[in-house]
Structure 1
Amino acid sequence: MRILQAFLTALLLSGSIAVPAWSDEPVNPPVAATKEARLDQLFIDLKRERNEKAAERIAGRIWGEWSQSGSASIDLMMQWSQKAIENQKFDVALDFLDQVVTLQPNYAEGWNRRATVHFMMKNLGKSMSDIDHALQLEPRHFGALSGLAQIMALTGHKQSALEAWQKVLAIYPMMRNAQDQVATLSEELAGEGI
């Protein structure tokens, strides 16, 4: 069957067979890009963009892609966790996020969100562990890298914080906070070397 299909395709492409314009054969619409392909293109655009506001919009679209788990139940639990975070009910948020990472362990944003809640609760070790999971699933996760940089700075590991912020800038060059942190930490580390 594949040989016949390939033969017919070759004939069509060579122009030897004409397909009538009135054919009832459905025309295949272009296939929508996969989530990975959309993310890859957005990251290319983010790296190239030199306008801060335009870069923020691209980053927002990336967050939008990350927020889509592919499961209505997981998305709902993520919404509930966000509402709990906004109301500073971190234990409630953590309950939802524990369910998210248990039910969908390959969902990087679930791990990142839980890392954020642990950070807010001052559970830095647990936050680091969740950041590690998020970065294994999505190494370009500039939110998780930013969290890592903040923890490194808080715990006095300035060189590691600087390196994490530099990784953020390699992905998202126009992130103002990362630019400021790299400048500040570079000055501090240079001053300590004197």
Structure 2
Amino acid sequence: MPAMRFFVFALSLAVTSPLLAEEAKPGSPPPERIVEQKIPPLTPPDHELDLLFAQLKKERNPQAARLIADRITSSLFYSGSATVDMLMGNARKATEEKRFGAALDFLDQITLLAPGYAEGWNARASLHYQMGNFPKAMADTAHVLKLEPRHLGALSGLAAVLSQSGRDQQALAALEAYLDRYPADRDAQKRAIDLMIKLDGQRT
């Protein structure tokens, strides 16, 4: 399936605030201007990610590619919000302790507070997958890909969910989209080959 068709499929699933100026004293001159404090962006600069993805697409050495992929993952984790970072930490700890209900509550708060933060949706998709709720995992993954179509974790996760659901052709399309961005991933290469062999066997 061509990459564009895959993305159409995936997407079909499922402030600024002014600073308070000091109260003016009687007879004092009015302030020259009101200073605004902008909330930091919840995603890293696009230019940095573009460079990293371009390097990853060209790199054929698995070890070097892994370092680039790790940098991409770290960049996508950047939220620019102390509150979001705290909630992500709480969600991660709760997930490690198998307290899935609590983890889900934290991740729900993140998606409400920072709907443009792709990693919050991706973390919730991963949690839904662990809980066996594949439809919700796919819905959240589709949201991640709407925000960041190159998201490696979302593409790999979507392939896993589709494969688990018996939708091998669509799982292969997700893996092909992933490998188009990260061609040196040997594990993903093997998964794609296994799916192709399985699909060929079904046709004969």
TM-score, shorter chain, exceeding 0.5: yes
Q: Does 1:117 align with 2:105?
A: no
Q: Distance in 2 between matches of 1:52 and 1:59?
A: 10
- Structure 2 residue aligned with 1:130, among 107, 116, 140? 140
Q: Distance in 1 between matches of 2:107 and 2:186?
A: 29
- List gaps (5 residues or longer) in structure 1: 1-33
- Structure 2 residue aligned with 1:174, among 184, 188, 203? 184
Q: Does 1:192 align with 2:202?
A: yes
Kindly state the Cα deviation for residue 176 of structure 1 after the two structures are TM-superposed.
Answer: 2.1
Report Cα offsets for 1:19-43 as digits up to 9, x if no partner.
xxxxxxxxxxxxxxx6211111000
TM-score under structure 2 length normalisation: 0.77
* Partner of residue 117, structure 2: 107
TM-score under structure 1 length normalisation: 0.81
Report Cα offsets for 1:6-61 as digits up to 9, x if no partner.
xxxxxxxxxxxxxxxxxxxxxxxxxxxx6211111000011111110111111110
Q: State the AA in 2 paired with 1:78.
A: M
Kindly state the Cα deviation for residue 109 of structure 1 after the two structures are TM-superposed.
Answer: 0.5
- SS of equivalent to 2:183: coil
Higher relative contact order (CA 8 A, sep 6+): 2
Aligned residue pairs, count: 161
* Partner of residue 165, structure 1: 175
* Partner of residue 19, structure 2: none
Written as runs of structure 1 = structure 2, the 5 A alignment for 1:1-194 is 35-194=45-204
Report Cα offsets for 1:123-180 as digits up to 9, x if no partner.
1111111001100000001110111111111111110011100000001111222111
Q: Distance in 2 between matches of 1:159 and 1:56?
A: 27
Q: State the AA in 2 paired with 1:122.
A: G
Higher helix share: 1
Q: State the AA in 2 paired with 1:124.
A: F
Kindly state the Cα deviation for residue 120 of structure 1 after the two structures are TM-superposed.
Answer: 0.4
- List gaps (5 residues or longer) in structure 2: 1-43
Q: Distance in 2 between matches of 1:182 and 1:130?
A: 23
Q: Distance in 1 between matches of 2:156 and 2:74?
A: 18
- SS of equivalent to 2:200: helix
